[in-house]
Amino acid sequence: MTNSLLSIVCSIMSDMSMKIPDPRPRSRVERMGLGLLCGDSPKTITSAIEWIERRLER
Output the DSSP codes for 8-44.
Answer: HHHHHHHHHHTTSSSSTTHHHHHHHHHHHHHSPSS--
Which domain range does residue 35 map to? 5-57
Inter-CA distances, 17 with 24, 40, 45, Å: 10, 23, 18
pLDDT at 42: 85
pTM: predicted TM-score of the whole model, two decimal places? 0.71
| Position 30 confidence tier, pLDDT thresholds 50, 70, 90 | confident
Please count the structural domains in the chain. Answer: 1
| % residues pLDDT > 90 (the chain) | 33
